[in-house]
Structure formats: structure tokens, C-alpha cells
Structure 1
Amino acid sequence: MTMKPYRSMLFVPGHKGAWADKGVNSGTDALILDLEDSVPPVEKVAARDVVAETIDRLTGQGVRPDLWVRVNPEETGLMNGDLEAVVRPGLAGLFLAKIYNETDVVRLDAVLSHIERLRGLDDGHVKLLACFETAEAMGSCEKIVAASGRMVSALGATGPNADAGRSLGIEFTLEGLETLYMRSRVNLALRQIGLIHPMAGVWQDLANLDGLRTFCEDSRRLGYRGLVAIHPSHVAVANEVYGPDPEEVATARRLIAVYNEAEAAGSSAVDFEGQHIDIAHVKTAQALVDLAEAIEAGS
């Protein structure tokens, strides 16, 4: 199962339905309606109905962002009720908090298949994105992302002073050397099974947009392709950094055209604007063009 090329996914507290409209207006590629940490414990059950109504309303309006939900972890006893409320037409997927091992994913997959059949949805309709917040989960990230065909992406070792930092005992820095190993490992775990759109995040310094840009650029160089954001002001930066540069796309199209002409003349390697290129470079250029076209089609 593939994931749309989200440049940004924006968290919205699930119990504040009107805030979802602000999220839509931010230009994000996907909304994550949150039932977990951003919802007070006394409002978690009532928030389910708000999220269900928000999904129905925004789906009926034909909004651009895809709609995801972060459900409460199984250990809270709230997950099954969350799933019964939010698995419905218009739900693109689930953002999974506090997944510990592959068994958690296998059990969830079975429950989702049951609910999908009850609701008349195609099997596999609901996609999964795993968030690795514990040492146990990060140590099993390869098994977790491969545990279900629903899995499309993951992120981990993120968030200063939150679950991941506490579990790993690390101190976060802007340079990110303390998380480089885990972020690289999550990227590799996804890409070795053909999942090519890992998500970075989160950036907690709400007003520091320059720091956010650096964080996104560093993550992009590491292989990440989008940001899970916690504030609407972060969306524009993420969309810019993770979106293909128009000049690079134009160059890629020229490269493909030059190679195709050379190939038609019997050559499999050619000089392109002073650079030696062959079919490997063409594949990279085509992937960039495909990404740009996919983002444009979703606009």
C-alpha cells in the first residue's frame, strides 16, 4: 500500500471541531484529528462523536486534506471505542500512538478488517502510520512496519522532553546527532519494504520558524519526505521544504528528454549539461517529476 506524498500532516485537537476548519485553511495535505494527548481525559469519550461528525462534515464538503485520526493506545482501554466511532467513509488512516511491537499491529489489523466489513468499506481501506515513542518500539521498528499491508509510513525519536526522549534518556538538540541513528533506522526500515514516504516531526518551538526550516531541511536530506506539524503556522514551511523545487523539476524533465533522444539514437549514456548521465539518473529524475505531478494533482 502506498502513501500520498504528504508534505505536511497537521494535528488538530479532536474535541474542537471548529479548529479543523482552521487546519483546512492552513493548506496542509492531511489533518490528524487527535483523540489522544491533546484531549483532556474527561472529554475523550465525547470527543469521539466530535471527530466522527468532523469527518462526515469535511468529507461532505469535499475538502482537500485527507483526514486521519490519532486514536488512544490500546493500553488505555479506549482504543476499541475510538475505532468504532471513527472508522467510516472519509477516514484515510490512523496515526498510531505508543505501538510497542508487531503483535499490536497484527491485532489492530484484524479489528479494522472486522469494522470495515461492518461499515461496507473495502478491506484495507484504513491505512496506518506508526509513531515510535518508546525504546521497545524503536528497537522493533523493522518488524512493526512490516506487520501489516496497511502500513504506509512511520516516524520516531521525535519531540523534546516527551515520550521518546524520556524513554531513550536523550537530550534533544537542533543538530539532532542524538537521534540520527534512530531516524536513519526508521527511514531504512520503511524503504527496504518499498515504503518511500517517511514523515518527520514534530517541531515544538511554535514561534521559531527558522529553526523549523532547518529541522525540515535536515530531515529531507536524511530521506524524510514530509512533516507532522502541531501548529498551522508550520504548514507553509513544510510544504515549501518538502515540495519539489520548480527549477529542479524543469531540469529533471530536460534530462529525461535528452536521455530519451540519445537512447533512440542507440546510446545509453549521454552528456547532459556537462554531467554524465545514464538510466539510473533518469529514474531519479522521473521520480522527482512523478512527485511534483502527484502533489499538483492533489492541490
Structure 2
Amino acid sequence: MHPYRSILFVPAHKPDWAFKALAAGADCVVLDLEDSVPHDRKAEARATVRETLPKLRAERPEVGLFVRPNALATKMTGADLEAVVCPELDGIFAPKIKDATDVLRWETMIDWFEARNGAEGLEMIVPVEMVDAITNCFEIAAASQRVGAMIGPTSEHADIARAVGYRQSREGSETLYLRSRILLACRQNGLHPLTGLWEDLADLDGLRSFADYGLQLGFRGMIVIHPSHVPVVHEVFTPSDEEVAYHEELVATMDRAVAEGQGAVRFRGQHIDLAHADKARDWLAHARLVRGSATPA
């Protein structure tokens, strides 16, 4: 999956909000058919999504376009996918997954509607919203090639908070174990690790600190729920010129040392060896991909 820095949610029945998400510079937009759409407007929202997706794709071809259908237990999933799967869609944000079997159920339906509706290559973003999903996260991550990203759960009021029963702090330390499990599952299976969610819309300093803590843990992007959060999240998750220069210099220094028959050398006052250079090369590969596709907010 592309290393999206920001994944911005908008209600599916409000297409104007989707275009505002594009204008905000979000890397990926999720049109939400689930929690943000009243039950009596679900059918209308499906039709709106199908009409809106080609327009969004035409306006910003590089932006990821995903849809969050209703969960399997609602028995609305099939109708949602039948309506929204199309060539303009990049993937499905699959809610309420609890185990690998749920992933395969989603995969089967996506297979069917891809073939039927002329789409291909749809990926899945899996949020971890339930206690079962935390327990089974490694099996979920490995269940299907369609799973491209998982979300380390943190939220003050959403499903995961209700399921676990924690009280969210400003720094989010109470979800460290939950998020760490998801992060390791992503790393083990080559998935894009995402964190979320900052719900205080006006507190951008708090958002920046929270996002930076996620970056420190190893996450590479974040779920956001307001356009004003996009520039802050991009600032945190976009490698800086100074960081790139540091890692490039480290690799060059180590390459020279190896050419001279050395396996370790002093660099900016620190001991470095081959392992440091390997880590720097991995970091640079990610940084180039992110910076190469970054667009101004």
C-alpha cells in the first residue's frame, strides 16, 4: 500500500466535504457509509458515493480513494459494495473485523464485486476496533494479500474505547500496548502502519504531539477527521531535508569505510556500523517515496 500520511474521513452523503478533503491536501480520503450516515440515508449515500468517486478521481488522480461500508453484522455490506466498487476506487476500509475469517469474508465479497463492476486491485485498511481484533491482529494481518494497512487503535470515544474501557490521556499512553501489537503485526507482514485518532478539533498542538509520539513508536501515518489536521499530520510524517541529509551522509560514510576495509567508523561523534547503514537505507527508501508523492496542503 502507498504510505499515506493522512487518511481523512468524510460522511458519504456529503460530497462537498469530500472535495474539501481534496482541497486540504489529504493523501487519502475515506467516504464513510457507516457511523457518520443515518440509517434512513444509507441508500442515498451509496448512490452519492458512486456518483462522487469519478469526480474526485478526475480532480486529484494521485489521492487514495477508499470507502468504509457498513459492518458484516449489519447485512448491508453487500449492498454497499455492489454500489460503490468501481474502477475509480482504491480500496475498502473494512470495519469491525475481529479475526482472519472476517478478513476472508470481506475478501470474497470484494473479489465478486471487482469482477462484476470492472474494478481491480482493491486493498483493505483494517481498523482495530474490537478486543478480539487486538488478540488476533497477527492472523488478521496475514490473512489476505488485500490487507495493506492496519490502524493502531486509540480514540477517546470510538468503538475501541468502549471495548477496552480505558480513559484516554493527552499523550495516549494507555493504548501503548494495543498500538504496539498492531505495529508489530504490520511490520511482520509488510503492511503500512497507521495510528489515530485525535478528536479535539481545535487543539493542533496536542495533535502535533500525539502524531509525533506515533511516529516515535514506528507508525507512518494517521487517521484524521478534520481538514485542519491534515497539514499538521503531514508536517510530522514527512521526513525533513535535514533528516534526509543526515541519513544520506551516514550511508556515504559507511560505504567509504567498507571500501577501506572497515566495518565500523565514527560519524558525527557516534559509533556506526553496517547495521546503522542498513537502517538508514530502509529509512531513505521510505522517505523518498513519501516526499516524492507529497503535495502541498
Matched, 1:255 2:253: no
Partner of 2:63: 65
Matched, 1:285 2:283: no
Structure 1 distance, partners of 2:255, 2:174, is: 44
Structure 2 distance, partners of 1:19, 1:31, is: 10
Q: 1:149-188, aligned counterparts within 5 Å?
A: 149-188=145-184
Q: What runs of 5+ residues in structure 2 fail to find an aligned partner?
A: none
Output the amino acid matched with 1:264: A
Structure 2 distance, partners of 1:292, 1:189, is: 21
CA RMSD of aligned residues (A): 1.5
Structure 2 distance, partners of 1:142, 1:216, is: 24
Structure 1 distance, partners of 2:183, 2:152, is: 10
- Partner secondary structure for residue 87 of structure 2: coil
Output the amino acid matched with 2:71: P
2:29 to 14, 23, 31: 31
2:271 to 268, 271, 276: 276
Kindly, what percent of the aligned residue pairs are identical?
45
Structure 1 distance, partners of 2:78, 2:23, is: 31
1:103 to 101, 104, 114: 101
Partner of 1:115: 113
Matched, 1:93 2:91: yes
Q: What runs of 5+ residues in structure 1 fail to find an aligned partner?
A: none
Matched, 1:226 2:224: no
Structure 2 distance, partners of 1:276, 1:132, is: 39
Output the amino acid matched with 1:127: E
May I ask how many residue pairs the two structures share in their alignment?
A: 294
Partner of 2:125: 129
Structure 1 distance, partners of 2:227, 2:197, is: 13
Partner of 1:245: 240
Q: In 2, are the aligned partners of 1:5 and 1:295 still within 8 Å (CA)?
A: yes
Deviates more, 1:274-283 or 1:210-219: 274-283
**CA deviation profile, 1:35-88 (whole Å, cap 9, x unmatched):** 111111111111111111221112223433211111110111211111111211
Q: How high is the TM-score relative to the length of structure 2? A: 0.94
Q: In 2, are the aligned partners of 1:133 and 1:156 still within 8 Å (CA)?
A: no
Output the amino acid matched with 1:164: I
Q: In 2, are the aligned partners of 1:70 and 1:97 still within 8 Å (CA)?
A: yes
**CA deviation profile, 1:251-297 (whole Å, cap 9, x unmatched):** 11111122222222332322222222222111221222222221232
Output the amino acid matched with 1:64: E
